[in-house]
Structure 1
Amino acid sequence: MLVTVKMAGIRSISIPLHSSSPEILSNFEPLPSGSPRLLSQRAFPQQRRRSWFCMSQSDRMPPITHHDPLPKPLPLHHTPVLQSQTKHLRRKTIEELQERTQKELQTSSDPVVTLKLIDTLQQLGIAYHFKEDINKLLERFSEYNSGDDLFVTALRFRLLRHNGFPTCSGIFDKFINKKGRFKETLSKDTWGLLSLYEASYLGAKGEVQLLQAMEFTKTHLMQSKPTMTAQLSEHVARSLEIPRHLRMERLEARNYIDEYSRGNNCSMALLELARLDFDMVQSLHQKELEEIFRWWKQLGLVDKLSFGRDRPMECFLWTVGIFPEPCQSRCRIELTKTIAILLVIDDIFDTYGSLNELILFTDAIKRWNLGAMEQLPDYMKICYMTLHNTTNDIAYWVLKEHGLSNIIPYLKRTWIEIIEAFLIEAKWFDRGYVPTFDEYLANGVISGGTCMALVHAFFLMGQGVMKETEAMMEPYPRCFTSSGKILRLWDDLGTSREEQERGDVASSIECLMKEKNIALEDGARKYVRQLIGSLWIELNGELVAPTGLPLSTIKASFNLSRTAQAIYQHGNDNTTSSVQHHVQSLFFSPIGFNVTLSNI
């Protein structure tokens, strides 16, 4: 049997459906789209959707699905990136450019030139090709050089810490005067200031120099902007808006390719490699989306549960943020499945289930066996069975791929905790209770989905997983909870005003205003932004004092926080357009390029 799947901005594809476990859903009758239950029987008619995987809590945002194009005004003009007749030539060109770049890395005798090259490779999104060479070079250049100027000192520090190498903030002491402040003479060194500014965002707890550096550089960069060249001013403005350390990796690659192409020191070889690589990765993402939509269509979950969100595209955007490297394809696909199911369960708690039904569902999840679902209404049975089977499928894949045989208890625990957190918020809303800020955030770390996503990511990646590291999943590692708080707070900054107008459950903004008697919302928002900054300092501590977690897992928690900022940074009115832009630029808009080396 063939079905046609229409994806946003991509051609329709015909997909064969084969017999598999999702077809058991055919035993259930679909809920009518206009079911009166949606109006008369749901317990919480205005409750907000608490899961962060929805890009906007607004009911006005059209879903991004395989049924409809992205909402206007953004047009989706998609041209298949890689035609078969040019694939071979492009692969050959990429290989030649990789060899040239690798040779440049290996033969460079100037540490400063090498550090700049590594930095450029990372910004262009192509450093993963040279990971082994880069690690060897950073290890070689990790020793402090007292003769380095501000630019090089800060660049070396940032690259080492970003890549997990030990480094001490004391290397900046020589730039501090006897009064304990950065020397004012540094204010004339714009590139040095910018380098120090970027490095300051990797500061950990107790690194006072980097906190001072952040304020010092920000002040002087803003004062100097009017006298800068247009190109430098644009570069500085982008850094002041969102520093490098906080940027979503694939979006940074897309944006920097454009910026780099306009620079005076642009290497045509690196630019061509970055363009070719980006479009190759984009083609991979399109194939991943085809598989995800095939699975989603075959599953038929939202066809049976008409109230559920149908947003696999948005879920995939999050996983691209968490897993940016091409080799993590299966991780993206499997985590997208998990998130898509979570959204529908979230909708049961927010818009459809009665309180008694939600209690029954929570109890069934705790029991975690198919017999437990007999007590549930049919629509909950569908979701329960889907979750149970998908979790088992993921565990089976992890067993085959990584040889990890006992991960079900860990995955089950994350689902039990997130469902319990959903129920707590449902009860709060039912009672009209406004929690304290600490209560809200402690529960929001779980209900937001961060810990669930990162535990799945930990096992899907499989790197460095041993009995000792498995045990670190309980309780959750600090980087998981810090990332979860960052995400929950960004979500509230981006959506709370609209939710307040609709009368939804209190967000962190409202909790703060009530608890601390803050009269103006802007005051609470400022407090939340400061707290996010403190949480990043906490998160950075994972790079300073390793806890035993694999670096890949730590990076996934960082990446999740970066993705949250990329999506929610501009608030209610711009969240939808931000998502549209990110989806378009990452998955459907190719970058123009030449496929020969004749002009390089």
Structure 2
Amino acid sequence: MEELKEEAAALLSINKKDIGTTLSLIDEIQRLGLEYHFKEEINESLRHVLAEVEEIDDTHSVALSFRLLRQQGYYVSSNVFKKLKDKGGKFKEELSRDAKGLLFLYEASWLGTREDEILDEAMDFAKVHMERLLVHDKDGVLAAQIERALEMPYHRCMRRLEARHYFTMHKDEKERRHVFFELAKLDFNLLQSMHQTEIKAISTWWRELGLIKKLSFARDRVVECYFWILGVHFEPQFSEGRILLTKIIALTSVMDDIFDAYGTLEELHQFNDAIQRWDVQDVSKMPEYMIIYLHSFMSLIREIEEELCRKGMLHHKYYLAESIKALVGAYFKEAKWANKGYMPTLEEYLNISVMSSGYPMLICVALIVMEQEVTAAVLDLVLSVPKAVEASALISRLRDDLVSTKMEQERKHVASSVQCYMNDHGVTEQVARLKLSTMVANAWKDLNQGCLQYSCPSQRNLNMLALNFVRMAEVIYKHEDGYTNPSGEMKQNIGLLLLHSVHG
């Protein structure tokens, strides 16, 4: 494997002066899931590209350089796409017949902010012409890539899952760069073996905890929780953090069910009060199911604190507690609304649901258990819910609402964003859904903007966590609530990553 890595790194170095080839190599490395092996080489190559970006004029390289640079956190003006327009201000006619150029343009357009109006034009232009081209030619790898991009652009995809699909899509192409594919297949299967070991350990912990048998109302989704966290960081150096974060999300899921589906308001008041005081010593007046849950939850908190102590980071336990308090406070607020039958305004709802999405807490905990060099300043920033975290949480909540509203309203549940919008504006459900979908699109633009704002590596890592968490929301809530109902596409995706190795 080391020989293959050296050979791959040499290819990047040899082609450094050829920007088109460099961009193509970086794109392929990332799509194959190999980026973590070549971070320094990729950063060095992209800094060279950034210095030359104004001189790039061919369609493919303009679009690809823009996407790769913005992905990496470098600001590049969207004005570079003016090179692809004619004197009348429209995208050049010849581009409408360039399938690969259209694909590159379309993929780049998804990294826009609210200021990048030209990227909205680019997206519409590319989509129309790609769909037209597919009518006449649905065969071949390029057509398959276009179909997949139209289904979900690469920027919004779970990276590990996309690597798996990339192998399948290109398995019959004899001209692919042999060294990268051989390395990627070996790397994928080695990591899959590590991931299988992790999920076995987590499943054993979950079974021995016995929580689902004792709390039969709760969803049993520990494998789905692991899949969720695998999309945040799949790399080998995050193994310990991945296990702890999966445990957190699994127990948080049970907590969500306690608040949403089981606890009385008085019981939930006691629960919230105990968490806000961060003191669960006196739980004698709580119902048995809640005592059982809190015992398991605080046992996990002690496990995380012991790990922090071992790493000399025990001072970060404050942020662990504060992020959980904020989540539970939001759960309790929603429970009070549901109990009273109160219909919040959309603004009220979103102010609370950004926290109750769980993402601000999970991002904070992920930084604590996965990032060795995270600073107190960055953790303070997370607790303040900066733009990237807020956008990530908002997208997750709206995506969930758009696929699960009808199911959740069949039981006593706080009104969703769909009902809130309908009530605020007196419109039909169809109109509300269209408006909320527009809010998702704008929140993605805010997230893209947030990912360009960072002053240190820890803040850059924070932005990437926000991005990877929301990518998982896009995958899980794509057509349905794949977490609550995991028998369809969710089950297939889990199989691709945890059961089926790469061959050929």
- TM-score normalized by the length of structure 1: 0.79
> Could you say which residue in structure 2 is the equivalent of 1:307?
217
Larger Rg: 1
Name the CA shift for 1:379/1:461 in 2 (closer, same or farther; >3 Å).
Answer: same
Corresponding residue SS for 1:336: helix
> Could you say which residue in structure 1 is the equivalent of 2:500?
589
Shift in Å, 1:480 = 1.2
Shift in Å, 1:400 = 2.2
> Could you say which residue in structure 1 is the equivalent of 2:157?
247
> Could you say which residue in structure 1 is the equivalent of 2:186?
276
> Could you say which residue in structure 2 is the equivalent of 1:238?
148
Deviations 1:448-506 (A, max 9, x none): 21111101011112254223223213312221111001101111122223334556442
Shift in Å, 1:105 = 1.3
Shift in Å, 1:165 = 2.4
Mapped to 1, the partners of 2:338 and 2:412 lie a distance apart of 10
Q: In structure 2, which of residues 455, 473, 497 is the aligned counterpart of residue 564 of structure 1?
A: 473
> Could you say which residue in structure 2 is the equivalent of 1:362?
272
Name the CA shift for 1:418/1:584 in 2 (closer, same or farther; >3 Å).
Answer: same
Mapped to 2, the partners of 1:393 and 1:523 lie a distance apart of 47
1:126 aligns with 2:39: no
Shift in Å, 1:313 = 0.6
Corresponding residue SS for 1:322: coil
1:112 aligns with 2:20: yes
Deviations 1:93-112 (A, max 9, x none): x2232222111112224221
Mapped to 2, the partners of 1:240 and 1:166 lie a distance apart of 25
Shift in Å, 1:281 = 1.1
Residue correspondence of structure 1 range 58-77 to structure 2 within 5 A: none
Mapped to 2, the partners of 1:101 and 1:467 lie a distance apart of 38
Residue correspondence of structure 1 range 525-536 to structure 2 within 5 A: 525-536=433-444
Q: What number of residue pairs does the alignment pair up? A: 498
Residue correspondence of structure 1 range 371-382 to structure 2 within 5 A: 371-382=281-292
Q: In structure 1, which of residues 418, 436, 443 is the aligned counterpart of residue 352 of structure 2?
A: 443
Shift in Å, 1:396 = 2.5
1:538 aligns with 2:446: yes
> Could you say which residue in structure 2 is the equivalent of 1:63?
none
Shift in Å, 1:150 = 1.1
1:204 aligns with 2:113: yes
Equivalent residue letter for 2:359:
T
Q: In structure 2, which of residues 306, 309, 317 is the aligned counterpart of residue 408 of structure 1?
A: 317
1:333 aligns with 2:243: yes
Name the CA shift for 1:483/1:572 in 2 (closer, same or farther; >3 Å).
Answer: closer
Bigger shift: 162-171 or 450-459? 162-171
Name the CA shift for 1:502/1:383 in 2 (closer, same or farther; >3 Å).
Answer: closer
1:486–1:561 CA contact under 8 A, matched in 2: yes
Name the CA shift for 1:575/1:387 in 2 (closer, same or farther; >3 Å).
Answer: closer
Equivalent residue letter for 1:153:
V
1:261–1:271 CA contact under 8 A, matched in 2: no
Name the CA shift for 1:306/1:503 in 2 (closer, same or farther; >3 Å).
Answer: closer
> Could you say which residue in structure 1 is the equivalent of 2:487?
576
Q: In structure 1, which of residues 157, 165, 168 is the aligned counterpart of residue 74 of structure 2?
A: 165
Mapped to 1, the partners of 2:501 and 2:101 lie a distance apart of 34
1:321 aligns with 2:243: no
Corresponding residue SS for 2:114: coil
Deviations 1:324-373 (A, max 9, x none): 22221112100011111112222222232221111011111111123343
Bigger shift: 566-575 or 363-372? 566-575
2:9–2:38 CA contact under 8 A, matched in 1: yes
Q: In structure 1, which of residues 100, 123, 132 is the aligned counterpart of residue 7 of structure 2?
A: 100
Mapped to 1, the partners of 2:209 and 2:413 lie a distance apart of 31
Equivalent residue letter for 1:394:
I
Deviations 1:505-536 (A, max 9, x none): 422112212222222x2222222221111111
- TM-score normalized by the length of structure 2: 0.94
Corresponding residue SS for 2:382: coil
Identity across the alignment (%): 38
Bigger shift: 368-377 or 134-143? 368-377
Shift in Å, 1:547 = 5.4
Residue correspondence of structure 1 range 496-535 to structure 2 within 5 A: 496-501=405-410, 504-519=413-428, 521-535=429-443
2:319–2:364 CA contact under 8 A, matched in 1: yes
- Which segments of 5 or more consecutive residues in structure 1 lack a partner in the other structure? 1-93, 594-600
Q: In structure 2, which of residues 381, 390, 398 is the aligned counterpart of residue 472 of structure 1?
A: 381
Equivalent residue letter for 2:134:
K
Q: In structure 2, which of residues 393, 399, 403 is the aligned counterpart of residue 490 of structure 1?
A: 399
Q: Could you say what the CA RMSD is over the residues aligned between the two structures, in angstroms?
A: 2.0
Mapped to 2, the partners of 1:147 and 1:293 lie a distance apart of 51
Mapped to 1, the partners of 2:229 and 2:121 lie a distance apart of 35
Mapped to 1, the partners of 2:318 and 2:285 lie a distance apart of 23
Greater relative contact order: 1 or 2 (C-alpha under 8 angstroms, separation 6 or more)?
1
2:364–2:379 CA contact under 8 A, matched in 1: no
Name the CA shift for 1:453/1:572 in 2 (closer, same or farther; >3 Å).
Answer: closer
Name the CA shift for 1:140/1:234 in 2 (closer, same or farther; >3 Å).
Answer: same
- Which segments of 5 or more consecutive residues in structure 2 lack a partner in the other structure? none
> Could you say which residue in structure 2 is the equivalent of 1:85?
none
Shift in Å, 1:250 = 0.7
